[in-house]
Amino acid sequence: MARILVGKYEGSIYREGDGYTGALSLGFAPNGKRKRLKRKGRTKADVTDKLRRAVADLESGIKSPTNYTVGAAVEDWLSKGLKGLDADTIANYRCLAAKHVIPLIGKVKLKDLRADDVDEWLDGLTDKLSTRSLRLVHGILKRAIRQAQARDMITRNVAELVKTPTGRTGRPSKSLTLDQATAVLEQAKSSRLHAYVVISLMTGIRTEEARALRWDHVVAWVDDQTGWRPVTEVGFDHERFALYVWRSVRAHGDTKTEKSRRTLELPERAAEALQRHHTRQAAQKLRAGKAWQDNNLVFCSPTGTPLDAANVRRAFRLITKKAGIGESWAPRELRHSFVSIMSDSGVPIENIADLCGHSSTAVTEEVYRHQLRPVITKGAEAINAVFGASESGSGKTETATKRNTQKSAQVA
């Protein structure tokens, strides 16, 4: 048996089994029981190193068990760190963690995790995940270790020291052409999703807003004195209708941003689709009987429960398949199509931003840059007018301006 001193703690290393065991005396517990810190290793040097690391953790306040792994930290975060998030977000985090975090890096002991380990793990996912998904899985690890830090399980967060690499190029969003949109609307008539498709395409609301829409937020204009009233009170026997887009399926029911709370007047075709949908839903409610859950939702399951996003995607892909444009479309692209149709129709970007609930036109231009029709003719028209007048006179300037305006219209 060899006597040792690690920091201020005395102890010994002795042979046990095929290796060595080291034990340090930490004093006595309040109940009078002796407290000891033990570590095992193949050699005395291994044991000494483990004891030194254990003492360092002890003095820094770390309480992590020696076998506490990255996977355990992630599981702890999934069970305690997702409070207040909506169900879809929680499900997404759990799926990503179960597939890309725990199986691949979860067996590493948390205190042994190094930045190089995180780098290698993320690099191994670059050909499988998009950059956005890589940020999500990296974020899961960072948040899990952050929670472990807050509980004195580890001193530093090595995942914070690593930069997320660029992942696989994702599929860019696309928009329906007018002919494609017409075909989709036609094929949607036989689907329970018909009104959902019509409203999404003709108002540009987000899928998360459509799934949270309630009947008391579908309103009709009664008269100048009464104003807008819910159709649940005044019915559909009116000429003008609108949506209060005030909710979403996000946590707490809030819209994405404050500017996203908006009121949108409905096109006639959208109002008609909602009226027919309301009638069909009343029949569904009768068929469901006691199984019906009255959540006052415009779009819901046959028993009144909220629509699942995955079910909406599957139903929408069936519609696009029947429309002859394939199954690679997502419901969110109805919103992109709305922006494209508005832009092609000459609606100013400021109005499109308001309709979409964006905080500024900069957001619209960044997110929907592929759908926006470029309007860049004004500067050329002004320059032509100025320099034409100084060189050729007012008559020629007028002709030149008209000719350049026609060319600019063709370019735009």
User: Active-site residue 196, yes or no?
Assistant: no
Strand 228-230, strand 218-221: pairing: antiparallel
Task: Dig out the tokens for 14 from the structure.
Answer: 């002795």
The answer to whether 313 and 230 are in contact (CB under 8 A) is no
Do 320 and 184 meet the contact criterion of CB atoms below 8 Å apart?
A: yes
Nearest Cα to Cα of residue 274 among 333, 209, 197, 366: 197
Residue 206 annotated in active site: yes
9 is catalytic: no
* Spatial CA neighbour of 3 closest among 48, 57, 56: 48
- Which residue pairs, CB below 8 angstroms and at least 24 apart, start in 381-385? 381/405, 381/408
Token pair listed for 72 = 């355990």
As given in the structure block, the two tokens for residue 321 are 């398949």
335 catalytic? Reply is yes
Choose the catalytic residue: 100, 138, 247, 358: 358
Catalytic residue among 194, 206, 211, 247: 206
Choosing from 214, 256, 259, 317, which is the catalytic residue?
256
Separation of alpha carbons 83 and 80, rounded Å: 7
Q: Which residue's entry shows tokens 């009709």?
A: 220
**Nearest of 277, 267, 142, 141 to residue 202 by alpha carbon:** 267
* Structure token pair of residue 100: 């890309």
In the numeric block, which tokens belong to residue 212?
């949270």
With tokens 């104003």, the residue in question is 227
Q: Is 107 among the residues known to form the active site?
A: no
Structure tokens at 237: 């026997």
Catalytic site residue from 39, 250, 277, 335:
335
Q: What six digits make up the tokens of 372?
A: 């926006």
| Contact of 173 with 338, CB cutoff 8 Å | no
Tokens 């305690």 found at = 80
The residue type found at 314 is R
| Cβ atoms within 10 Å of 240's Cβ, excluding its own | 13
Rounded-to-10 torsion of CA 378, 381, 385, 388: 150
Other Cβ atoms within 10 Å of 340 Cβ, number: 23
The set of catalytic residues is 206, 256, 335, 358, 368
